[in-house]
Structure 1
Amino acid sequence: MPVVLGIETSCDETGVGIVADGVLLGDALATSMDEHARFGGVVPEIAARAHLHAVTPMVRHALDRAGIGFGDIDAVAATAGPGLATAVQVGLAAGKAYALSLGVPLYGVHHLAGHAAVDTLEHGPLPDRCVALIVSGGHTSLLLLGDLARDPVVHLGDTVDDAAGEAFDKVARLLGLPYPGGPAIDHTARDGNPTAIAFPRPMTGPHDPPYRFSFSGLKTAVARWVEKHDDGAVPVADVAASFQEAVADTVTRKALAACRDHQVDTLLLVGGVAANSRVRALAEHRCADAGVRLRVPSPRLCTDNGAMIAAVGDLLIRADVTPDRLDLGADPSAVLHGALLQGLRP
């Protein structure tokens, strides 16, 4: 039963996880979010310095929580992209150092594959085919998945501009809500009316690409509405709830259409925005109506973490996939083709 150490540093969380045979043995997470809040978004160099300080302590915390030592590690997996260039490089360099010093194989994995793989830690192996809806700060995608360790990932559609999480941050800023915007809007929307304002559902027209996303126009629609009512009486809760409803309606509508069109009976909902209460609730409701099984991790595993990277490494090593060389380079803008950053290998 190989034990995999996973390291995630693609943005502002320093995550470490330890997984063996589909079971999360221990994990640890540090965040530099508070350091970025005064800037209204992540500052790459601040994030990278925070990762430098946090990665070694987080590895030790994860090992302690798992009740094991370095000698028990059989492989290392590290995010090699996509993400902030300097941030990714910190985690990948740490992964290389641990792999070299321990004499174990290294897997440079794709960050988004981690979001898909993490659900296996709570709900077991993925089915032979499923549709994955990844909604996060930097990505919104509909994917057709087979065997995550062996098969290529098929992109059904991606966002053409702002990702859903990015739109949450920008709308929160318009409403004077704190960073990060996702949790702030989710909390504020509980006191609002989701039908108060008819914000558009982008790219849902009959002639639009059925699986592609665009949230820039929705963000602009919110901005224009706020400008027109900027007399000191903007109903912040109603705006937040109506915006959140537009996002939830759009992403779940397209996801269920993809399941129907590709005759898939399982929807995997993952990524930071999958922690949003309305997105989860609407996905659950629509999947139940359509007879589609919904798989969604617990909220703490939706946001960036080390467990998801260790989960990918665990799948790869159990599939006997050839590991990476130690001269593997980071790719901050990597497109998802498979679990390994550099593509499928026997």
Structure 2
Amino acid sequence: MASQNIYILGIESSCDDTAAAVIHNGKILSNVIASQKIHEDYGGVVPELASRAHQQNIVPVVDQALKKAGITKSQLHAVAFTRGPGLMGSLLVGTSFAKSLAYGLDLPLIDVNHMQAHILAHFIEEDGYNKPPFPFLAMTISGGHTQIVKVNDYFNMTVIGETIDDAVGEAYDKSGKILGLGYPAGPEIDKRARLGNPKAFKFTKPKVADLNFSFSGLKTAILYFIQRETKANPNFITENLNDICASIQYTIIGILMDKLKLASKQTGIKHIAIGGGVSANSGIREALKNGEQKFGWTTYVPKFEFTTDNAAMIAIVGYLKYLKGEYAPFDVTATARLKI
């Protein structure tokens, strides 16, 4: 079946990025993203503003994805969309649009789990990219999620560890807010961390059972630490910013790697893949590479454009489901808390 010319349109609208992509037999032809800058003023995503921006962006984004792919909508075989998890208002825009388009073109509709898509982004056909073999461990790290998933097959996955409170991306953003950095703070902390001393300040790692994570305690510890130090020296942040960022990043990466090491040890799996926006972090990528030397891991890091919220990952899941004939009914509904 894969030898046929199969074109799938993927639509992603789970948070604040409106995205559309066209995939042809597993190879991405276009991957268009409209980001919403308005949230920077608020230091976080405002759901009401996000859904409104999706309504404005979705038609031009889909139009551009088709044009860049060099195909017309009549050549499509199916429409895939993010069903969840995510912000309800945002998901509704993508879901309604995908349903209308598929219905109007008399095409199959395919619903996609956003978290599965982050993992299956590793199966996009890319020259020179080795795909992870089953079973492998996937760590998905983003602003809304922190999970370790045992992946037995494309659609046979088990979450073996997840955050019990904040996601890792939130830990970065909230730490950044405390330090007076802009939103999102992750890239800025990462950049400054490379210039600082990771052992300048010590933050305690939270003790959480099994393979689960917790980041809210760390955020509180950072807040109290900064309050205490700035009371003694009002210029403490500006004088030590790179060292503070390096110490925060060192602690966060330590928490992630401790759990990943434990997961690998418990399952005996040495193939480790990462996904989600935070996987763009240079410190995390470096720690994974070190894991290859230290623990005999083989690690898989997708191209940067496939790690953040994007529609290419939705399209690859759509393609894999299309090959199996797994379509969604037209009364399918968006689900904010969809599980893997």
TM-score normalized by the length of structure 2:
0.93
The structure 2 residue matched to 1:166, chosen from 170, 174, 180, is 170
Residue 212 of structure 1 corresponds to which residue in structure 2? Answer: 212
* Alpha-carbon offset, residue 210 of structure 1: 2.8
Q: Whole-Å Cα distance in 1 between the matches of residues 299 and 160 of structure 2?
A: 18
Q: Whole-Å Cα distance in 2 between the matches of residues 130 and 9 of structure 1?
A: 27
* Alpha-carbon offset, residue 21 of structure 1: 2.2
Q: Does 1:202 align with 2:206?
A: yes
List alignment gaps of at least 5 residues for structure 1. Answer: 337-346
The structure 1 residue matched to 2:71, chosen from 53, 68, 92, is 68
Q: Give secondary structure in 1 for the equivalent of 2:236.
A: coil
Q: Which moved more, 1:94-103 or 1:255-264?
A: 255-264
Q: Give secondary structure in 2 for the equivalent of 1:118.
A: helix
Q: Does 1:43 align with 2:46?
A: yes
Matches within 5 A, 1:59-208: 59-121=62-124, 122=126, 123=129, 125-149=131-155, 151=156, 153-203=157-207, 208=208
* Alpha-carbon offset, residue 37 of structure 1: 0.8
Percent identity between matched residues is 37
* Alpha-carbon offset, residue 107 of structure 1: 1.1
The structure 1 residue matched to 2:263, chosen from 258, 279, 284, is 258
* Alpha-carbon offset, residue 199 of structure 1: 1.2
The structure 2 residue matched to 1:315, chosen from 308, 311, 320, is 320
Superimposed CA distance per residue, residues 292-343 of structure 1 (whole angstroms, 9 cap, x where no aligned partner): 110111222211001111111111112x14201111011001111xxxxxxx
Q: Whole-Å Cα distance in 1 between the matches of residues 272 and 224 of structure 2?
A: 34
* Alpha-carbon offset, residue 67 of structure 1: 1.1
Superimposed CA distance per residue, residues 265-286 of structure 1 (whole angstroms, 9 cap, x where no aligned partner): 2101111110111011111111
* Alpha-carbon offset, residue 253 of structure 1: 2.2
Instruction: Please tell me the residue identity of whatever aligns with 1:212.
Output: N
Q: Whole-Å Cα distance in 1 between the matches of residues 10 and 130 of structure 2?
A: 18
Matches within 5 A, 1:207-246: 208-230=208-230, 231-234=234-237, 235-246=240-251
Q: Whole-Å Cα distance in 1 between the matches of residues 264 and 9 of structure 2?
A: 34
Residues 124/19 of structure 1: CA separation in 2 closer, same or farther (3 Å cut) = farther
Q: Give secondary structure in 2 for the equivalent of 1:251.
A: helix
Residue 268 of structure 1 corresponds to which residue in structure 2? Answer: 273
Instruction: Please tell me the residue identity of whatever aligns with 2:245.
Output: A
Residue 6 of structure 1 corresponds to which residue in structure 2? Answer: 10
Q: Give secondary structure in 1 for the equivalent of 2:287.
A: helix
Q: Give secondary structure in 2 for the equivalent of 1:268.
A: strand
Q: Whole-Å Cα distance in 1 between the matches of residues 192 and 136 of structure 2?
A: 33
Instruction: Please tell me the residue identity of whatever aligns with 1:214.
Output: S
Instruction: Please tell me the residue identity of whatever aligns with 1:84.
Output: L
Q: Whole-Å Cα distance in 2 between the matches of residues 13 and 299 of structure 1?
A: 15
Instruction: Please tell me the residue identity of whatever aligns with 1:220.
Output: T
The structure 2 residue matched to 1:247, chosen from 222, 244, 252, is 252
RMSD in angstroms over aligned alpha carbons?
A: 1.3
8 A Cα contact 2:131 2:300, kept in partner:
no
8 A Cα contact 2:271 2:297, kept in partner:
yes
Superimposed CA distance per residue, residues 120-179 of structure 1 (whole angstroms, 9 cap, x where no aligned partner): 114355412011101111110111011123x2x211111000000011110000000000
* Alpha-carbon offset, residue 38 of structure 1: 1.0
Q: Whole-Å Cα distance in 1 between the matches of residues 43 and 8 of structure 2?
A: 35
The structure 2 residue matched to 1:334, chosen from 325, 335, 338, is 338
Instruction: Please tell me the residue identity of whatever aligns with 2:81.
Output: A
The structure 1 residue matched to 2:297, chosen from 266, 287, 292, is 292
